[in-house]
């Protein structure tokens, strides 16, 4: 996703606000983590998504599903963490984004 015109400052701001910024790397507001409370009724779909996203095995993904408050991914920007959490919520998981200290 790239802005149409780098000379247009308003277009650049809109692009950044909509998630055009890098998903990994330094964030002036700090880094964030995504934690899971419950994987919901569609546990299989959530586990499959987590396995693909984090590139982990079935055993590791099942461990996440058994522990409330498990940190799924950390060191993310606010935008990336929010996007990841929203994708999990769309699958039925109960997750939250927390700022790292």
Q: What DSSP letter does each residue of the chain carry, written as one string?
A: ---S-TT-HHHHHHHIIIIIS-SBS--TT--EEEEEEE--S-HHHHHHHHHHHHT--HHHHHHHHHSTTEEEEEEE-HHHHHHHHHHHHHTT-EEEEEE--
pLDDT tens track for 55-101: 989 998 888 888 878 888 888 888 889 999 999 999 998 999 998 87
- Residue 13: pLDDT band (50, 70, 90) is low
Which domains does the chain show, CATH number per domain?
Answer: 23-99 (3.30.1390.10)
Cα atoms found within 13 Å of the Cα of residue 100, Cβ hemisphere only: 17
What pLDDT, on the 0 to 100 scale, is given for residue 90?
92
Q: How does strand 94-99 pair with strand 32-38?
A: antiparallel
């Amino acid at each position: 996703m790239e802005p149409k015109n780098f000379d247009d400052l308003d277009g650049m701001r809109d692009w950044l606000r909509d998630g055009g910024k890098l998903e990994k790397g330094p964030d002036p507001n700090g880094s964030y983590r995504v934690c899971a409370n419950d994987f919901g009724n569609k546990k299989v779909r959530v586990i499959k998504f987590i396995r693909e996203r984090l590139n982990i095995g079935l055993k590791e993904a099942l461990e996440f599903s058994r522990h409330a408050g498990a940190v799924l991914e950390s060191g993310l920007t606010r935008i990336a963490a929010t996007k990841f959490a929203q994708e999990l919520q769309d699958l039925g998981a109960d997750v939250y984004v927390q700022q790292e200290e």
